[in-house]
Amino acid sequence: MLLHLLNRSPQSIAVYRDLSEAFGASDQLLLIEDACYAALPAAGDLLEAFGGRVSVLEEDLVSRGLTGRVSPAIAVVDMKGFLALTETHERCVSWF
């Protein structure tokens, strides 16, 4: 069970493709930094491969003016939530 960190906007579509190739059935994806833009409903298709196991970092949403625009299917977590995800997932890989 891996935690995947992604920090690129949906514009960097190749990273999303590589990540989806590597994503396991019980893995979790956390969107941080510019990947927050993938949390918008318009980017829904891009996240299909991740089976609803997607979270997004709240403070990065806030700074980008995205609160209130996030797809309801995506869990919003604060830094403590980010930490908690790393606690429960023994391995974490970063995609960039």
Task: Kindly list the residues in this chain that would bind other proteins in the complex (CB under 8 A).
Answer: 1-2, 5, 7, 14-15, 17-18, 21-25, 32-34, 59, 79-80, 82-83, 86-87, 90-96
Minimum gap (Å) between residue 74 Cβ and other proteins: 18
Taking phi over 0 as left and psi of -120 to 50 as alpha, with beta for the rest, 51 belongs to left
73 vs 84, beta carbon nearer other proteins: 84
**Which helix (H) or strand (E) is 18 found in, with range?**
helix 13-22
Smallest CA-to-CA distance from 49 within 7, 20, 19, 16 is with 20
45 vs 72, beta carbon nearer other proteins: 45
